[in-house]
Amino acid sequence: MPRRWPRATRLSPRTAPRGVALRTLFLLIGLVIGLVFLNGCPESQPTPEASPAPILDGKPAIQIRTTVTGPIQPIPLEIELDQDRVQLGGQLFHEKGLSSDGSISCASCHNLELAGTDRKRVSSGVGGAAGSVNSPTVFNSGFNFKQFWDGRAETLEEQVDGPLLAEKEMNSDWETAIAFLSTNPEYVSSFNSIYPDGITRANVRDAIAEFERSLYTPNSRFDQYLRGDESSITEQELAGFELFQGLGCVSCHQGANVGGNMFETFGVMDDYFADRGDVVEADMGRFNVTGREIDRHVFKVPSLRNVALTPPYFHDGTVRRLPDAVRIMAKYNLGRTLSDEQVDLIVAFLGSLTGEYQGQMLP
């Protein structure tokens, strides 16, 4: 497998034993110092004030229990949620007052009528500021193991801070957002009736996240097939699914979300970024989060649920048509050149992943 990043410098065999001995020595010294430190000065533990607590009030991704075996599981038909929080979260999701100039809500870039996206190459925020990556759909985001292309948010709750504070998105801050909500008697009473402590950052995050968990799209024709109704997909779609498995797409795009449960390199077999050109910071993917060489060009494998409705494709939003996205994936991540017929079959299968929101097929 060709890897583009420089390999980590290794100790040459001749110097290795000395290097190992030295490392062991340092490790021992470190341990002793650590023990003395721990026993001798317990008061030096960081206090909550000294290091602000990370946002850990979030819930992990929705766990799926299913009797269907295989690489892809159907989305549950029902997910138990607190409807009051869902409703409040839905209002907040559509609230333009949360942005610095009152012009942008979450829904501006995640339009539920447009399958939870804005169908732009990259999103534009307050004052038309262009972002650096394509806006992923919010539908089914509750099933993703991490949030954002580079997975920098652990949970939906933690994710909320991203757009709210981003200069090129809503360009606001928590003080302003809370102050805005507190002037609205309707919000004050909704928050107070749900949360004992009323309008707080944690409660805003909680309500929005609960609403996002309600944005699941079950009952796609492919899910009906998985549940045993063989007539729900066409022969062509079935052949596409078989190809999707046979080629190995399913090794990365799998689980209930047909993605969203692992990080992988974009360009495992060939250098997508060299071929595309104009490499920017966002192309570094998870490297921007961890700083580790092996994470260069690594992204969260995106969900392929409703993918027929969420162009343009990839984090850079450069690909407008699904067949082209499929071809690129086959070339750069599997080292395969697909025939037009193969591409058509896979695209047909992907079309069968379009699901329902509140009992209606996504438009």
Report, as residue numbers or ranges, the catalytic residues.
169
Asked if 362 touches ligand HEC (CB under 6 A), the answer is: no
d(CA 147, CA 141): 8
Nearer to ligand HEC, 325 or 362 (CB): 325
* Residue 48 backbone phi and psi in degrees, to 5: -55, -35
Q: Which positions from 268 to 287 touch ligand HEC by CB under 6 A, shown as an x/- string?
A: x-------------------
Q: Residue 107 or 226: which CB sits closer to ligand HEC? A: 107
Query: Which residue shows structure tokens 């001749």?
Result: 14
Query: Is 121 a binder of ligand HEC (CB under 6 A)?
Result: no
| CA–CA distance, 193 with 196 (Å, rounded to integer) | 7
Closest to 350 in 3D by CA, of 236, 226, 193, 194: 236
17 Cβ neighbours under 8 A, 6+ residues apart: none
Name which position in 114, 199, 208, 345 contacts ligand HEC (CB under 6 A): 208
Left, alpha or beta for 137 (phi > 0: left; psi -120 to 50: alpha)?
A: beta
Q: Does 315 bind ligand HEC (CB under 6 A)?
A: yes
Binding to ligand HEC by CB under 6 A, coded x per residue (else -) over 329-358, reads xx--xx-----------x------------
- Considering only 251, 288, 290, 318, the residue that binds ligand HEC (CB under 6 A) is 251
Told to check if 171 binds ligand HEC by CB under 6 A, we report: no
Annotate 127-177 with DSSP letters as a single string.
GG-B-SSPPPP-TTGGG-SSBSTT--BSSHHHHTHHHHH-TTTT---HHHH
Name the DSSP class of 248. Answer: T
Can you give the binding site for ligand HEC, defined by CB under 6 A? 93, 104, 106, 108-110, 123, 125, 131, 133, 135-136, 138, 141, 144, 147-149, 156, 159-160, 163-164, 169-170, 208, 212, 247-249, 251-253, 264, 266, 268, 299, 301-302, 304, 307, 310, 313-315, 325-326, 329-330, 333-334, 346
